[in-house]
Amino acid sequence: ADDPVKIALVHGLSGSTFEAFSKQSHTGFRLGLEYATDGTMKINGRDIEIIEKDTQFKPDVARAVLAEAYGDDDVLIAVGGTSSGVTKGMLPIAEEYERILLVEPAVADSLTGPDSNRYVFKTSRNSSMDMQAQALALKPGPDLHVATLAEDYAFGKDGIAAFRKALEGSGATIVAEEYVPLKTTDFTAAAERMFAALRDKEGRKVILIYVAGGGDPMGKIKAMQPERYGIEISTGGHILPVLPTYKRVPGMEGAIYYYYENPSNPINDWLVEEHTKRYGSPPDFFTAGGMAAGLAVAKALQSTDDWDTENLIETMEGMSWDTPKGEMTFRPEDHQALQSMYHFKIRVDDDVDWAIPELVREIKADEMDIPVGRNNQE
């Protein structure tokens, strides 16, 4: 009867509408542990105790509660946080307390970049994966002309930069890069500019949309009927609540992080079944991500008896484990989990509330060239 092993989930649970995502992530994490322990919630005979901490989406609060988790609650591993800014603020705390921080579901590449440290692991995807997969889904060739639309800040610019890099050597050209201010709601002007840049081009003409916030640029641009100039729209897949808006673009192709029907593996089957049974709806991005994190923690703890942080780091570097998205691997250099993405094509079925991003093919981790953020091995 050892003490339970404590794990902290450090996410934003209040103060922003993103709190719903944190909750999905928590559900997924618990399901992950449940699956890995066959429902016993015990590893190596020790109970697992999960402690939830609310960052309130404020970096200072996040740092305080994470430090509290490591310092006062004495958790072994912390998992979090929801938004990139808040998570970035949390990174040094892990180093200070010399404990592992597993980043999920925040996406930014920089979380495994030079500012990060060797105590940080990341199961969530990053923007480079999104954009590389997106580029691959476009099947780039010399006849492809793309205009990109993104928000005018680091996230948007980095995303487009990754996309540009992914197209390099394929012969495809980017004819315009439009950046709109954050929280833009009217895309008419940007669309007109992109139409102007694309309309006279020969070959395939695509508008690539990479806007994280709301505003529904896809729907609004689609409403301007780009097809009259032979222009297609392409954008990444999205969480379920947003997918109904994709009904307006049947046949659109792109890449998605997760859609519950796409991966085919036993874990995902279990997840979909259990989730639907318990919550009446299929799992979404953050549930899958949370579960991947839960499975990673379980695997690491199961693989070794010595739960000293240094030993855990050693165990996890290069570790491969199964998730609802298939196998993931922590890259030893920057601790980013490499994973598959899914090339989809939108199918509209009137009996389904949302548009279905039907699987075209799985884009395997090794097809993508995800830049290494930092090298922990040095």
Partner 1 sequence: MIVYAIIGVIGICLLFAPMLFPDVRSQEVAARICIFIVLVASYDLLIGYTGIVSFAHTMFFGLGAYGTAIALRQMGPGWDAVLLGGALGLLASLILAALIGLLSLRVKAIFFAMVTLAAASVMAVMASQFSDFTGGEDGIIYKVPKLFSPATKLLTDDDGKVLRIFGAKANGKMAAYYFVFFGSLILYFIMLRIVASPLGTVLEAIRENEMRAEALGYRVVLYRTAIFCIAALIAACAGILRALWLKYTGPETSLSFAIMIDILLMVVIGGMGTMTGAIIGATLMSLAQFYLKDLMEIASQATAGIPLLPDLLAPDRWLLWLGILFILLVYFFPAGIVGTLSKRGGH
Partner 2 sequence: MEQLGSYFERYGGINLLPVILAVIAFVLIGSPSTWLTLTVAGLAMGMMIFLMASGLSLVFGLMDVLNFGHSAFISFGAFIAASVLAALAAWVAADSVLLNLTALFLAIAAAALFGLLAGWVFEKVIIKPVYRDHLRQILITMGALIVAEQIILAVWGGSPISVPRPHFLTGSLIIGDVSIELYRLFAFVLGLVAYVALYVVLNRTRVGLLVRAGVENREMVEALGFRIDRLFVGVFVLGSALAAVGGAMWAGYETLITAAIGSEMMIIVFIVIIIGGLGSIEGSLLGALLVGLMGNYVAFLAPKMALASNMILMMAILLWRPYGLRPAVK
What is the per-residue binding string for partner 1 in 19-58, x denoting contact by CB under 8 A? x----------------------------------x-xxx
What's the rounded Cα separation, in Å, for the pair 21 and 12? 9
The item of partner 2, partner 1, none sharing an interface with residue 344, based on CB under 5 to 8 Å by kind, is: none
Task: Indicate whether 141 belongs to the interface with partner 2 (CB under 8 A).
Answer: no
Least Å distance, CB 91 to partner 1, is 6
Q: How far is the CB of 285 from partner 2 (least distance, A)?
A: 11
Strand partners, 347: 356
Helical (H) or strand (E) element with 35: helix 19-36
Q: Is 352 in the site for partner 1 (CB under 8 A)?
A: no
110 is a site residue for partner 1 (CB under 8 A): yes
- Least distance (Å) from partner 1 to the CB of residue 158? 9
Going residue by residue from 223 to 242, which x/- string records binding to partner 1, judged by CB under 8 A? --------------------
What gap in Å lies between CA 254 and CA 252, rounded to an integer? 7
- Give me 126's structure tokens: 């990053």
Q: What does the per-residue mask of binding to partner 1 show for 240-279, with x meaning CB under 8 A? A: ----------------------------------------
CA 43/CA 33 separation, integer angstroms: 9
Q: Of 154, 196, 223, 352, which lies in the binding site for partner 1, with binding defined by CB under 8 A?
A: 154
Radius of gyration of the chain measured on its C-alpha atoms: 21
Q: By rule CB under 8 A, what string of x and - marks binding of each residue 185-224 to partner 2?
A: xx-xxx-xx--x-----------------xxx--xx--xx
CA distances from 267 to 97, 111, 327 (A): 33, 27, 10
Residue 117 or 245 having the CB closest to partner 1: 117
The option from partner 2, partner 1, none interacting with 34 (CB < 5 to 8 A, set by class) reads none
By CB under 8 A, is residue 35 in contact with partner 2? no
Q: Nearest 5°: phi and psi at 353?
A: -65, -30
- The one-letter amino acid at 111: L
18 is an interface residue for partner 2 by CB under 8 A:
yes
Contact 304, 311 (CB under 8 A): yes
Give the Cα-Cα-Cα angle 169, 170, 173 (nearest 5 degrees).
95
Least Å distance, CB 87 to partner 1, is 8
Instruction: Tell me the per-residue interface mask from 288 to 307 with partner 1, x by CB under 8 A, - otherwise.
Output: --------------------
Burial class (CB in 10 A: 0-12, 13-18, 19+), 277: exposed
Q: In terms of C-beta density within 10 A (0-12 exposed, 13-18 middle, 19 or more buried), how is residue 186 classed?
A: exposed
Q: Which stretch binds partner 1 (CB under 8 A): 24-32, 65-73, 280-288, 369-377?
A: 65-73
Contacts of 11 (CB under 8 A, 6+ apart): 22, 25, 26, 52, 53, 54, 55, 80, 81, 82
Distance between CA atoms of residues 240 and 258, nearest Å: 10
Number of residues that bind partner 1 (CB under 8 A): 37
Q: Which of 67, 239, 360, 372 binds partner 1 (CB under 8 A)?
A: 67
